[in-house]
Structure 1
Amino acid sequence: MFRYERLVKARQAVGLTQRQLGERLGCSGSAVAQWETGETANIRLEYLFLLADISGYSARWLATGRGAARLFKWVPEEGFAALVARLDSDERWQLMQALEQIDD
């Protein structure tokens, strides 16, 4: 799968049009269209990382196709912080305990 196909997949996973994604990223819908057709080979890292936050796909996978595609099966379009914000205090504590168990 080519990078532009991964970008399309990430956008479609959250149900956004190219224009809507551009608005969320702070660029034009035509810029998104150019990335998705491969017309523009380079995407600014800030846009790539924002797309990763919005879609739940890993930035590494979006850029290279390597590694895990999805960090989580479902992440709200507002990103991981919004997902954590929906947890109650006990669930947040459990999440923090689990994260502390992960080796670097």
Structure 2
Amino acid sequence: MEKDSIGNKVAHRLLQLRQANGLTQEQLAERANIDSSVISRIERGFRTNIRLETLDKLTKALGVNYTDLFTFTDDKQIQKRIEGKLALITDKEALQTLEKLIDILSEK
């Protein structure tokens, strides 16, 4: 399967969401009432023609909506964008405020 295909992106996103919820494939399968082999094949990119019914079950079991499922982000890209924006800020007080905000967010 092509690395940047929608099927691969969905597979990777489902894996991210499952792990973020602290679930094994078996636990997610039980919650979604589907076979764990289906989740395994999806996450490994072997099943790209996912039925809408299956996607619906998975989103409900993960407690997300379709927007969350189809939001493909790369943490490294986000970090680079933030760093680029920070480099544009020259106001010392604004930088100090941002630093405090980052400290607060880092504690969570």
TM-score by length of 2: 0.50
Deviation of residue 44 (structure 1)? 2.0
Of 45, 49, 53, the match for 1:42 = 49
Higher relative contact order (CA 8 A, sep 6+): 2
Paired residues, number: 65
Q: Which digits, 9 at most, give the CA deviation of each residue in 1:75-94, with x for residues without a partner?
A: xxxxxxxxxxxxxxxxxxxx
| C-alpha RMSD of the superposition | 2.1
1:32 maps to which residue?
A: 39
List gaps (5 residues or longer) in structure 1: 67-104
TM-score by length of 1: 0.52
Aligned AA for 2:36? G
CA distance in 1, matches of 2:22, 2:51: 22
Deviation of residue 14 (structure 1)? 1.2
Percent identity over the alignment? 38
Q: Which has the larger radius of gyration?
A: 2
Q: Which has the higher helix share?
A: 2
